[in-house]
Amino acid sequence: MADVTTTDEFTAGPLTAGQVACLGAYITAIVLWTVAEYLNYNRSHAKKHQTHAHTEAAELEGKALLELNGGAAHVDVEASSVDAAAVQPSTPTPGIDAAGKANYAWTSSAFYRCLTLEEDALLASREALRSAVEFGTILVWFYVADRTQLIAPGTKTYTRDVLLFIFLVLTAVAGGYSLKQHRPLVLHRTQTEEWKGWMQVLFLLYHYYNAKEIYNAIRVFIAAYVWMTGFGNFSYYYRTADFGVGRFFQMMWRLNFLVLFCCLVLNNSYMLYYICPMHTLFTIMVYGALAIGSRYNKSDTAIWLKIAACFATVFVFWELKFVFYTIWRPFMFLVGYTDPRRPGGDRMYEWFFRSSLDRYIWIYGMMCAFMHPKIEKFLQAVDTMEVKRRRVTRAVLIGLFCSIGYAWYHFVYCLPKVEYNKVHPYTSWIPITVFFMLRNLTPQMRTFSMGLYGWLGCITLETYIGQFHTWLLSKRPDGQPIYLLTLLPGYPLLNFAVVTALYVALSHRLFLTTGTLKDAVVPHDDNRLLLRNGLMMVAVAGAAACFGFLMVEARTMLGVV
Ligand SMILES: *[C@@H]1O[C@H](CO)[C@@H](O)[C@H](O)[C@H]1NC(C)=O
């Protein structure tokens, strides 16, 4: 088979402590979930019997009882609603003791009570346990696909025709069958999600087909994501002033939970998935910009000063390379990376390079969010102009943005990769601005968005991470995903269809399970509970790590390979 490579250089490496620890956690979750399902089955079974008995009794006594006492029906309803509560208990909350006060003792946590096989806790946590098992199972599949010899990888071939064909067909379907209408707001959430979605599709196809010729466009897309990080987060914090740690940690969980487990299970560096550290850092910086001295956020001058301070910070920490290196050196374990196919060299380079490319654009995103009302007012003023003037104004605007866009294309975009990267940090705001201004020019354009791309835009993090292990393959720790997952060798297009369906479905499930687990563990507004859960997680991780190290040690000592 021509499209399958030899497997000489593929290696999973020896099992690591992290992998053993995750396996231990996974097996524990399976056991607990099985018990929870069993208990639930028993209860609903018991309930069914009970309801049967109820119905029979009710039938025997018949209407007479109801006529005699109208309350009987009411009693019945109450009884069955109690049953229902037992079968499907509410989401786990901290133990509430008899006095009605919240109980923060470790032993009252759902986690501890599940471990001690307490029935109520297991039943109440059934959904979370199911999510944990599903999440773990998907990661096991990642390991099987990307680290074992079971799946032979295919190699990439680029055909511009195929890439464009796939993108156009998808866009036709998205535009023809998934148009959504909402209020004509400038850069409405559904619109930014749609934007993320179609960019993600091109970004992924770029990886799948190794389409080197659109490298510069991909850099712009990544800049647009980072722009949206600044835009979305600024809007949120500026409007809500919700600087609570609960919300902060929920966001950190969302950004890093999946990637953490991918790193552990596949023995990869965090930096292999560079989008995650980059968005995490810039999200924290937006948060910091607004949370520090938040009582001054009401003043426009203060906001502009903060934005200026952000530029100054970025200038000092990136533009002066030695400052960047000095600050990050202690965090090398987190941000260091070496491509195993090109060993040696500067382990910090990848982080410096990736974060440098988009170092300013998140600040521009904050500026756009801050000026959003003004941009909106301007566009609405154009909408309400008298017909002839409106047409002329719009024509002028279109002409203006198209000329700017073309000039950028000609002088910047067409540069070769290395030269392009040098100017990218200072120019990426141009195509982004041109795009969102043109995209929002008329109320009709603001009103519509493509739901299919919006849906894909919600799971970009999962499709980004998932592509490494269940669409593309890297086949070795820290390897770049240079192979293709090939389930139907010899049928590249059919294989693409099958593998893509699997990959998108799994990404969506990862998105949902990450959310369920987040809700089970990270409370939004109970900081004490958050602290307790955090400490418990540290303790559990510590115990799991010890277990992992001991197992690995034991194996080495016994000489098992
Ligand atoms: C903040 O940025 C992160 C990272 O891009 C993103 O996932 C999240 O949705 C943003 N938050 C808001 C409120 O837009």
Residue 77 pLDDT more than 50? no
For the CA of 225, the nearest atom of ligand 1 = 5
Q: Closest residue (by CA) to atom 10 of ligand 1?
A: 233
pLDDT of residue 283: 97
Ligand 1, atom 3: nearest CA belongs to which residue? 229
| Mean pLDDT of the 195-208 span | 98
At 101, the pLDDT band (50, 70, 90 cuts) reads low
Backbone phi, psi, residue 268, to 5°: -110, 165
Residue carrying the six token digits 């535009």: 175
Average pLDDT over the chain reads: 90
Task: For residue 448, give the DSSP letter.
Answer: E
CA dist 529 and 465 (Å) reads: 30
- pLDDT-derived band at 45 (thresholds 50, 70, 90) equals confident
Q: What is the pLDDT of residue 84?
A: 38
The one-character DSSP state at 482 is -
Mean pLDDT to the nearest integer, 112-116: 90
Least confident of 263-272, 336-345, 516-525: 336-345
Residue of higher predicted confidence among 41 and 95: 41
Tell which atom from ligand 1 comes closest to the C-alpha of 255.
Answer: 7
Helix spans in 178-274 (H): 189-209, 215-240, 245-266
Average pLDDT over residues 190-209: 97
CA distances from 307 to 303, 310, 362 (A): 6, 5, 10
- Asked if residue 126 lies in contact with residue 33, where contact means CB atoms within 8 angstroms, the answer is yes
Q: What is the mean pLDDT of residues 313-326?
A: 96
The finding on whether 236 has its CB within 6 A of some atom of ligand 1 is yes
Q: Does the beta carbon of 192 sit less than 6 angstroms from any atom of ligand 1?
A: no
Pocket test of ligand 1: the residue of 189, 229, 235, 282 to mutate, having most ligand atoms within 8 Å of its CB, is 229
Lowest mean pLDDT segment, chosen from 8-12, 156-160, 244-248: 8-12
CA of 159 to the centre of ligand 1 (A): 34
Edge to edge, the sheet with strand 153-155 lists 153-155, 483-485, 472-473
Percentage of residues of the chain with pLDDT beyond 90? 81
Which of 233, 243, 363, when mutated, tests ligand 1's pocket best, judged by the most ligand atoms within 8 Å of its CB?
233
Tokens of 19: 């992998």
229 lines ligand 1 (CB under 6 A): yes
Ligand 1 atom closest to Cα of 461?
A: 7
Give the pLDDT band of residue 342 (cuts 50, 70, 90). confident
Higher pLDDT, 216 or 98: 216
So what's the pLDDT on residue 558? 84
| Amino acid (one-letter) located at 99 | A
pLDDT grade for 430, boundaries at 50, 70 and 90: very high
Can you tell me which atom of ligand 1 is nearest the CA of 226? 5
Q: How close is the Cα of 233 to the center of ligand 1, in Å?
A: 6
* 55 band by pLDDT with thresholds 50, 70 and 90: low
pLDDT for 455-509, tens place per residue? 999 999 999 999 999 999 999 999 999 999 999 999 999 999 999 999 999 999 9
pLDDT recorded at residue 402: 98
